[in-house]
Chain A
Amino acid sequence: GAVVSQHPSRVICKSGTSVKIECRSLDFQATTMFWYRQFPKQSLMLMATSNEGSKATYEQGVEKDKFLINHASLTLSTLTVTSAHPEDSSFYICSGSSPYSYEQYFGPGTRLTVT
């Protein structure tokens, strides 16, 4: 199956700083990428949907100025958590959607800890 990678796998940052998470589709072109957030022992909550070359569509309650999403190419989307706070600590997961099957392929996730 198709592979999606995320970098970094873990990141620790200080409160007030920004951190960027990369999501790459390695062997297919992901016209659409999705960003999720997962709290411990809870389900995945969709944060935003991004289509290549367009602005991301954010879910209700997600601050677009805080969670900046860029989908500049068919194989790369980035999520930047700006002015991070401890409550932003979470597991962030991306997925890429194949334009042929519309199946979503998930990345391994990035563990963000804000101190």
Chain B
Amino acid sequence: AQRVTQPEKLLSVFKGAPVELKCNYSYSGSPELFWYVQYSRQRLQLLLRHISRESIKGFTADLNKGETSFHLKKPFAQEEDSAMYYCALRRGGNEKLTFGTGTRLTIIP
């Protein structure tokens, strides 16, 4: 069975400082990894996925198969980055998503 672990429930970072939200997964195959974000009082939305290797709102995430990690990074935090972040795994195609427990990121002005 697949599992996603986000070790930090809460993370506070000063504005302008680098951000790293950790995500580790366990799955024997080749999964698809995603980061979702939920801003206050808004719905869950896709932030980025590993297969597209893009940078969204300054965030990047690299899939490290050796370490089974998919950490989310941003070099300079902004106040509007404060939100709940969820790492998620999917076996492929139209399969279900397995979510981590989430990390609440707070950017300190």
Q: Which residues from chain A sit less than 8 Å from chain B, CB to CB?
A: 1, 31-32, 34, 42-44, 46, 49, 93, 95, 97, 99, 102-104, 106-109
Contacts and interface: CB of A to CB of B under 8 A. Distances in A.
Contact of B93 (A1, A49, A102, A108): A102
A43 B100 contact: yes
Interface string B28-65: 00000000000000111110000000000000000000
A34 B46 CA distance: 15
Given A44-B44, A44-B86, A107-B43, A34 B96 contact: yes
B46 to A, nearest CB: 6
A44 B93 contact: no
24 contacts: A1-B45, A34-B97, A42-B101, A42-B102, A43-B86, A43-B99, A43-B100, A43-B101, A43-B102, A44-B44, A44-B86, A44-B99, A46-B97, A46-B98, A49-B96, A93-B44, A95-B44, A99-B94, A102-B93, A102-B94, A103-B46, A104-B46, A106-B45, A109-B43
Nearest to A97: B94
Contacts of A44: 44, 86, 99
Most chain B beta-carbon contacts within 10 A, residue among A42, A95, A104, A107 = A104
For the side of the interface on B, what is the size category?
10 to 19
A31 B94 CA distance: 9
A107 B38 CA distance: 12
Most chain A beta-carbon contacts within 10 A, residue among B44, B86, B97, B101 = B44
Given A95-B44, A107-B43, 11 more contacts: A1-B45, A32-B94, A34-B96, A42-B101, A43-B100, A43-B101, A44-B44, A44-B86, A49-B96, A103-B46, A106-B44
A89 B102 CA distance: 21
A115 to B, nearest CB: 24
B96 A46 contact: yes
Contacts of A99: 94
